[in-house]
Structure 1
Amino acid sequence: MNWATITFDWNQARAFLVTAEEGSLTAAARALGQTQPTLGRQVAALESALGVTLFERVGKSLHLTGSGLELLDHVRAMGQAAGRVSLTASGQSQQIEGHVSITASDILSAYLLPPIVARLRQSHPGIVVEIAASNAIRDLTRREADIAIRHLRPDQPDLIARHVGQGSARLYASTAYLDRHGRPSGPADLARMALIGFDRDGVLLNHLTAAGLPIGEANFRSCSSNGIVAWHLLLQGLGIAVMPCDLADATPGVEPVLPDMAPFDYPIWLVTHRELHTSRRIRLTFDHLARSLRAGAAMAAAQVGG
């Protein structure tokens, strides 16, 4: 089939591209911020327009057919071109007024970003800020966000990354939980305590056992991939969880567990695309975030050290 002679809706093409890259409609819908039925209809409409089958289902995954593989390279090139056009247009804008999207983890988005954004809006009320709260890494080169706050340094050459400080996390629990179950005097006491997890893939468990804590899967009595939900599970007295120090230390009724234990430190990186960094609005927002995050990280470090 000569794909070059066929025209189709870019939204349908984008739905196909992300589904092919993510491997399932569920993951693609999450990446695009759409519902799975909507995404499925877009892919089906593209298949209907082209008169071919693009995916075959194998278990819970979708595998590309021969026609899908042939189309993928063309649509990927279209996506890269569309991204370059959008980036160039945004980068050339020197107006301060307008939209800026920031992506960060759910806990950071809910508890750390709002006061930072409030100060930005006081100084520049013409900037419209969208916060994409997600623990998944958004693709800045495809304009899924303008600025990202990450805990890993990106390796893409088109991205600008600035290290703005270190964050710290500890084991915390509610005072009510510790009153009921006792306050651990050493790591060995954790073996009898309930923990709150963030995932089922064992990443958190591996980190904690590597730190010398004698716990296993049986200790995790509740779990949520959403950090805000995990935080509220902690507040309800359901167990011990790893939480950012700047959030937990400022919350009444929450106590550090094993306070003499060294905190878990993690880097804070601020990231944007090179072309977007030439936009006055993006640059201003980026610099405001950098100053605020650096000041917050320094204050948190002083509190942990004290």
Structure 2
Amino acid sequence: MEWKRSAFDWNQARAFLATAEEGSLSAAARALGLTQPTLSRQVASLEETLGVTLFERTSRALLLTQAGTQLLEHFRTMGEAANRISIAATGQSEAVTGHVAIACTNGMATFFLPDILKKLQAVAPDLQIEIIASNEMSDLRRREADIAIRHARPQDENLFARRVRDTTGHLFASSDYLDAVGRPSHPSDFSKMHFVGFEYPERMLGLMASRGLNLTVANFNFSTASVTMSLELMRKGLGIGILPVDIGTAYSELENPYPDFEPIEIESWLVAHRELKTNLRIRLVFDLLAECLSTK
């Protein structure tokens, strides 16, 4: 791929990045405050400059080509760097202050946010950060939160979403519990074991059955909506549960009782109202969360 460096235009890069993140030319044009024909010309000019096709244009949507996918993270890095430059320049005359509310599950709040917030404090020490640790979906349009970390992409076109990290859920139990009841070698062995359920155990039965574990509600002696509580119940030997692999493997007293269990795919999306495009403090927090969560 030959890049004509002298012809590179940052406005074209912004057009590509917005189109990739928004999923359509019309949404990207609204986000950047441009007309759709102008945005389309910028994307086409960038493709000509780079000598590659970035999008496959279908009747319903724009799909990133392999080249577009490969370049997307590079352009995101450029965009975040440009935002940091803007923030640094603004900070010379005006400190970044104010309140930002972040909504996420208590697991995310406990295991991932503290290290990120420490970095944020070093960058913007005068920000007031509120953590809404709940499994309930905060309504960003009603300003119940400024930024949310969710496990599904929002469908509301008024929200801006970026996929930041994927992980998988696996079975975990304490070694003490498995020493006492025996380690399962076949799915049928689970029928007499105790489980720690997440919120409503009956909702887990179909998921478990799809992976060969035919359980009943009677198997779930404990249930909770809290990941941290589930973790502690497992560590105390009260049953088998499902944890994100990066959390479960961090505790030496836990082990995977049945490696043949098909992992559960877990997505994470960073979501904010489109106001983040112009709100300095929200953009700063959003970009730092995106950078840190994408590399974990």
Give TM-score, length-normalised by structure 2: 0.65
1:29-75 per-position Cα deviation (integer Å, ceiling 9, x unaligned): xxxxxxxxxxxxxxxxxxxxxxxxxxxxxxxxxxxxxxxxxxxxxxx
Q: Secondary structure at the match of 1:289?
A: helix
Q: Spell out the pairing of 1:121-200 with structure 2 (5 A cutoff).
A: 121-200=121-200
Amino acid at match of 1:136: E
CA contact (8 A) 2:106 2:227 kept: yes
Distance 2:121 2:167 in 1: 25
Letter in 2 for 1:268: S
1:286-297 alignment runs, 5 A limit: 286-296=286-296
Question: What's the offset of the Cα at 1:200?
Answer: 2.9
Matched position secondary structure for 1:200: coil
The whole-number CA distance in structure 1 between the counterparts of 2:124 and 2:193 is 48
**Residue deviations 1:109-164 (CA, integer Å, cap 9, x gap):** 11121111112212221222111000000000111111000011111121000011
CA contact (8 A) 1:276 1:282 kept: yes
Task: Tell whether the 8 Å contact from 2:201 to 2:220 is kept in structure 1 after alignment.
Answer: no
Partner of 1:109: 109
Q: Distance in 1 between matches of 2:259 and 2:119?
A: 33
Range 199-208 or range 176-185, more displaced: 199-208
Counterpart for residue 97 of structure 2: 97
**C-alpha distance in 1, partners of 2:117/2:256?**
29
Return closer, same or farther for 1:201/1:216 CA change in 2, 3 Å cut-off.
closer
* 1:163-206 C-alpha deviation (Å, 9 max, x unpaired): 11212110101111111111112322111210011223622222
Whole-angstrom distance in 2 between the partners of 1:99 and 1:221: 41
Aligned partners of 2:276 and 2:282 also within 8 Å: yes
Does the 8 Å contact 2:98/2:126 carry over to 1?
yes
Judge which range, 121-130 or 278-287, deviates more. Answer: 121-130
Q: Hey, what's the Cα distance between the residues in 2 that align with 1:109 and 1:255?
A: 23
Task: Indicate the RMSD between aligned Cα atoms, in angstroms.
Answer: 1.5
Find the aligned partners of 2:160 and 2:199 in 1 and give their Cα distance.
30
SS in 1 for 2:252: coil
Structure 2: how far apart are the matches of 1:233 and 1:201? 15
Give the drift of 1:99.
1.5
Distance of 2:186 and 2:114 partners within structure 1 = 36
CA–CA distance in structure 1, aligned partners of residues 99 and 195 of structure 2: 40
Scaled by the length of structure 1, the TM-score of the pair is 0.63
Equivalent residues in 2 for 1:240-251, closer than 5 Å: 240-251=240-251
Q: For the residues of structure 1 that align with 2:261 and 2:144, how far apart are their CA atoms?
A: 39
* C-alpha distance in structure 2 between counterparts of 1:164 and 1:116, whole Å: 14
Count of residue pairs brought into register by the alignment: 203
Structure 1 Cα separation of the partners of residues 98 and 251 of structure 2: 35
Gap change, CA 1:238 and 1:201, over 3 Å in 2: closer
What is the distance in 2 between the residues matched to 1:246 and 1:154?
A: 25
Distance 2:274 2:222 in 1: 42
Q: Tell me how far apart the structure 2 counterparts of residues 178 and 147 of structure 1 sit (CA, whole Å).
A: 40
Q: How does 1:61-80 map to 2 (within 5 A)?
A: none
Pairing 1:4-43 to 2, within 5 Å after superposition? none
Q: Is the CA contact (8 Å cut-off) linking 2:151 and 2:267 kept in structure 1?
A: yes
Indicate the larger mover: 117-126 or 165-174.
117-126
Instruction: Name the counterpart of 1:208.
Output: 208
The answer to whether the Cα contact below 8 Å between 1:197 and 1:241 also exists between their aligned partners in 2 is yes
What is the percentage of aligned positions where both structures have the same residue?
A: 40
Shift in CA distance, 142/95, structure 1 to aligned 2, threshold 3 Å: farther
| 2:155 aligned counterpart, secondary structure | coil
Residue in 1 aligned with 2:231?
A: 231
Partner of 1:75: none
Distance 2:128 2:176 in 1: 41
Find the aligned partners of 1:277 and 1:247 in 2 and give their Cα distance. 33
Change (3 A) 1:201 1:242: closer
The 1-side partners of 2:205 and 2:245 are apart by 19
**Residues in 2 aligned to 1:273 and 1:219: alpha-carbon distance in whole angstroms:** 42
2:263 aligned residue:
263
Aligned residue identity for 1:264:
I
Unaligned runs of 5+ in 2: 1-93
Kept in 1, the 8 Å contact 2:171–2:261? The answer is no
Secondary structure, aligned partner of 1:142: coil
